[in-house]
Amino acid sequence: MRVLILAFLISLASPVCAADQSALAKAMVAVRADRWAEARQLARPAGQVALDIVEWRRLRAGEGRLEEYRAFLARNPDWPGLGKVRSEAEGVIATGDDPSAIVAFFGSRDPVTGEGALRLAEAEAALGRRGKAEAVAVSAWRRLPLAEPVQSAFLARYGRALAGHHTARLDALLWDGHDISAGRMLSLVPEGWQKLAAARIALRNQTPGVDALIAAVPTSLRDDPGLAYERFMWRTRKGRGEDAIALLDARSGSAESLGRPARWAGWRRYYAHQVLREGDPKLAYRLAARHHLRAGASYAELEWLSGFIALRFLDRPETALKHFRAFEAAVRTPISLGRAGYWEGRALEAMGHPQEARAAYAMGAQFQTSFYGLLSAERGGIAMDPSLTGKDHYPDWRAQPFARSSVIAAALLLHEAGEQNLVEMFLTHLAESVDPAGQRALAGLALELNDHHIALRIAKTAAATGNVMVEAYFPVTGIARSRHPVPTELVLSIVRRESEFDPSVASGAGALGLMQLMPTTAKAMADELSVRYSSSALTADPAYNARLGAAYLSHLVEEFGPNPVLVAAAYNAGPSRAHRWIAEQGDPRAAGVDVIDWIELIPFTETRNYVMRVTESLPIYRARLAGRTGALSLSKELKSN
């Protein structure tokens, strides 16, 4: 493969010879030490793209002049991470820079920093466009936190235009948690708003004496949505969940009462789940359904949750169906569309409409790479999709229109330099902009590079638009050739979820490698297997990591039986939590417990999602390993004991 990459690079307009392939690797060492001149000198033999990689890193670090940023962006308008490049560019614009160049740099884009907004306003004013300058100033005033010198400059130059926007700015800063910037606004707003701001900040910081500060807020402002939100969060942080729920319920009558409905959405889901588990589905439904959102991920999640509660706990299938259809209209990924089809089918069944239910299941079954897509197929009597064996066709990436782009050239140079994290960044970015054939070609390139992690990341990007590539989406690597004490498909499913097949990944909590093993667990498994423990091997040797991880999985199988729901939950959240959930919600293996409901009632969002992602992978990996599909029986497998 390396020979093919070199041949391809040599064919580009800026050729590089094999002897220069180490140039970028050496340059990246200098880059990491912020030795920019040395890095450029070292990268020069590898050509212009290598020089641009160094320049990209330098500009993202905020090192450069405006003209250098403009030149780079003109040369490489399709590179990844340009938002960071533009943001840093705003910070280096100097007062004496050409006003026309500053205006051209922003184009139709709003500044994202206070410094950038000030420089753009100054440039518009210098060009004689005072109205545009004031519009830039007002927009920044209402949107952005500002350092003290920038705020003072805005007030000095555009104070009259900004005068009517002070309370709106203060309110926005308080909602966004910019307490220092908010503090600088207090002298500019009426006394009542000063007292309101003091109470909101004190609540957020859990300052003693907050009751007196709340009492000091004028009656006309005591119903302020921002104050209500901070009181809600204060109760949540203090462990006063019941009081927080009561306040959330009381404020959910209108979007105006919430102020910013999206800010409440995460805790709305949390408390709706909690109340549902505690046995109050009517309150849970009120919390979930009265969200007052109109779009976005939280809207979709709350619409689905409202439907789930209405169907499974309130016996209101007609209401549930409306929520499920609203959910379907708001989503586009296979995971979510499979979920929509399944639950619409369940609601229609409960309404006594079997034919419509079958149609809903057929819709969901189009997405059999997902948990609910597989359950839809099973419930609708639809065979497993033969394409799940993973016999995909990947077009030659060299023949694609993007093959001559500097993005691909940069990715290949970075691969040769051993910079796989940056390779991933470039290739997944490109996958977001190419057509389905291009996405398949990029996945094929990653597979040629023998990087299953990047192939999976590209496949996930493609799957989000409905373009599923099974071989890349469900990788089978060398660990499948080893003998394990648990089924190979279980090991692969756990690896896919834990690390996405990145052998060198380390989590913030200290988990390492393919199966994200904590060092203490890995050492215990190594001792048990009588093999030498090596912390470095956990990220350097995928087979070693998988061997120890499979040994730990075998302990969980011994503890919970072959039930993949409990094994996955225990691997993610710990065995003690899995036992606690059995005690609280019943045993999902028992005849009287609905295992789907049990999964959906897992308290942790991460673990709910984890269990579904692991269990959906099992039948697909069996098909991949066997080279053929079998009968669908996921619902039985979820109940296995």
* Token pair recorded at residue 473: 């989406």
pLDDT of residue 8: 58
The answer, yes or no, to whether residue 15 has pLDDT greater than 70, is no
Q: Indicate whether 13 pLDDT > 80.
A: no
In a domain, residue 165? The reply is: yes
- Asked which of 424, 448, 473 is the last residue of a domain, the reply is 473
Give residue 177's pLDDT: 96
- Of the three residues 157, 184, 211, the one that is the final residue of a domain is 184
Residues 145-187: tens digit of each pLDDT: 999 999 999 999 999 999 999 999 999 999 999 999 999 999 9
Provide the domain limits for residue 451. 397-473
**Cβ contacts of residue 443 below 8 Å, gap of 6+?**
394, 431, 455, 458, 459, 462, 469, 471, 472
Q: Do residues 469 and 490 both lie within one domain?
A: no
What would the 3-class secondary structure string for 157-180 be?
HHHHHHHHHHHHHHHHHHHCCCHH
422 and 501 in one domain? no
Residue 9: per-residue pLDDT: 55
d(CA 115, CA 103): 14
410 inside domain? yes
Look at residue 503 and tell me if it is in a domain: yes
Cβ neighbors of 415 (< 8 A, separation 6 or more) are 5, 423, 449
Model confidence pLDDT, tens digit, residues 284-308: 999 999 999 999 999 999 999 999 9
Q: Whole-angstrom Cα distance, residue 160 to residue 144?
A: 19
- Exposure b/e, 302-335, CB count within 10 A at least 16 = b: bbbbbbbbbbbbeebbebbbbbbbbbbebbeebb
Same domain, 39 and 122: yes
Statement: the pTM of the whole predicted model exceeds 0.85: yes
Residue 11 has pLDDT above 80, yes or no: no
pLDDT-derived band at 19 (thresholds 50, 70, 90) equals very low
Do the domain assignments include residue 360? no
The DSSP element (H or E) to which 267 belongs, if any, is helix 261-277
| Span of 92-96, 110-114, 125-129, 134-138 with lowest mean pLDDT | 92-96
Residue 520 inside a domain? The answer is yes
Please say whether the beta carbons of 373 and 367 come within 8 A. yes
- Domain end among 473, 503, 530: 473
Q: Say if residue 223's pLDDT is above 70.
A: yes
Number of domains in the chain: 3
How much is the pLDDT for 1?
53
Whether 73 has a pLDDT exceeding 70, the answer reads yes
User: 422 and 484: one domain?
Assistant: no
Render pLDDT for 405-442 as a digit per residue (tens, 0 to 9).
Answer: 999 999 999 999 999 999 999 999 999 999 999 999 99
- Residue 370: its pLDDT value, please? 98
